[in-house]
Amino acid sequence: MEKKTLSGTIRKNIQIDSEVSIIQKHHQRSGELTEGFVKRILTSSPTHPHGIKVMLDTGEVGRVVNVFIGEE
């Protein structure tokens, strides 16, 4: 069963401890995504065309592509 997702370009879709997939700066060409849980939201504006920048609980920083919602 596929997880439901929200857009990562809207800040109100993202909360601390949300499960997200991000793209890190050095993976932008390859498109490699990293999944994790949000520790800090780094973008202060309500939207960003390339995704809201966050720090994961692992310390990795990137722009949110998808926000996962619902039960696993």
Query: Cα–Cα distance between 13 and 67 in angstroms, integer?
Result: 7
User: Range of 17's domain?
Assistant: 5-68
Helices (H) and strands (E) in the chain, counts: 0, 5
The 3-state DSSP class for residue 4 equals strand
pTM over 0.85: yes
Query: Cα–Cα distance between 28 and 31 in angstroms, integer?
Result: 5
Radius of gyration from C-alpha coordinates of the chain? 11
Q: What is the pLDDT of residue 31?
A: 94
Q: How many domains, the chain?
A: 1
pLDDT in tens, 29-52: 999 999 999 999 999 999 999 999
